[in-house]
Amino acid sequence: MTYDDVGRGPPVLLIHGFPLDRSIWRTQAAVLAKSFRVIVPDLPGFGGSPALEGPCSMERYAESLLALMDRLEIERFAAAGHSMGGYILFAMLRLAADRLERLALVCTRAAADTDDVRRAREINAARALAEGPGFLADSMAARALGAQPEPAVAERVRVLIRAASPAGVAAALRAMASRPDSTPLLAAIRVPVLVVAGAEDLIVPEAEARAMASAIPQSTLGLVRGAGHLPMLERPDALADRLFRFLTEG
Ligand code: MLT
């Protein structure tokens, strides 16, 4: 697994979403590294990390991240997960809740897919394997960004999607489609949680993020204005500042 390991201090794991790679966290990692040890992996099948063999699941991604933290001799850590990275954090809560010290759930949801979404994911998985993920670039970039995206940010997202590996994309789509509903977990989370919502997010609307936050006992909602589903790229400094404050507050 390829990853960055920067800074010194309490450990923080940053988990990217679909179908991106660890580079999306560049600004936040640089800011957090002033006070934290920041671990930023490419999920299996994305960036420089090889895809897992066989069918994938959020649990398998979580296990590979826990194995990375074991190799780095990090027992307990804070973690931020973006979208699919949040689904992976829910799997980590099922597998090893005692290792998580605090969580930032960024533009993500607890609910499982609807049947329509599952069907669309399977069509896209087959298509990604047949022709590569490039066909997702324009539609996903448009849907993921807020109302007035900066052209350079939109282009960066398209480039990332086009560069993703067909096998990694197909495995992630199928893994997302098979993930369970994590809503029943929310009331049992025993650590502080920051729920981040992009005010213009079309993929996880603000109202859904607010409902998730209100179901988690020790949670606060951080609304990022002027951002859609990718606040780490659209409002990088605002998100970095919000994460820093969350991780340093008592
Ligand atoms: C992501 O950003 O990780 C995806 O939009 C999540 C999803 O498709 O459910």
Residues 78-104 have pLDDT tens digits of 999 999 999 999 999 999 999 999 999
Report the C-alpha gap between 222 and 104 in whole angstroms: 10
- Which tokens is 195 given? 């729920």
Q: Which atom of ligand 1 is nearest to the CA of 16?
A: 3
Q: What is the pLDDT of residues 131-153, one digit of tens each?
A: 999 999 999 999 999 999 999 99
- Ligand 1: residue of 22, 24, 61, 84 to mutate (most ligand atoms within 8 A of CB) is 84
Ligand 1 pocket, residue 164 CB under 6 Å: no
Ligand 1 pocket, residue 176 CB under 6 Å: yes
- Go through 190-224 and write b for each residue having 16 or more CB atoms within 10 A of its CB, e for each that does not: ebbbbbbbbbbbebbebebbebbbebbeebebbeb
DSSP state of 204: S
Report the C-alpha gap between 241 and 223 in whole angstroms: 12
Say if residues 41 and 71 touch (Cβ distance below 8 Å).
no
What predicted TM-score, i.e. pTM, was given to this entire model? 0.98
Q: Which atom of ligand 1 is nearest to the CA of 109?
A: 9
Q: Which atom of ligand 1 is nearest to the CA of 113?
A: 9
Q: Which atom of ligand 1 is nearest to the CA of 18?
A: 3
Reference 2, options 168, 133, 233, 184; nearest CA is 168
Report the C-alpha gap between 100 and 79 in whole angstroms: 7
Give Rg (Cα) of the chain: 16
ω into 19 cis (within 30 of 0): yes
Ligand 1 pocket, residue 232 CB under 6 Å: no
For the residues 193-221, what does the mean pLDDT come to? Answer: 98
Say if residues 128 and 171 touch (Cβ distance below 8 Å).
no
Ligand 1: centre distance to CA 97 (Å)? 23
Residue 112, pLDDT score: 98
Atom 4 (ligand 1) nearest CA: 18
Residue 25, pLDDT score: 98
- Ligand 1: residue of 18, 136, 173 to mutate (most ligand atoms within 8 A of CB) is 18
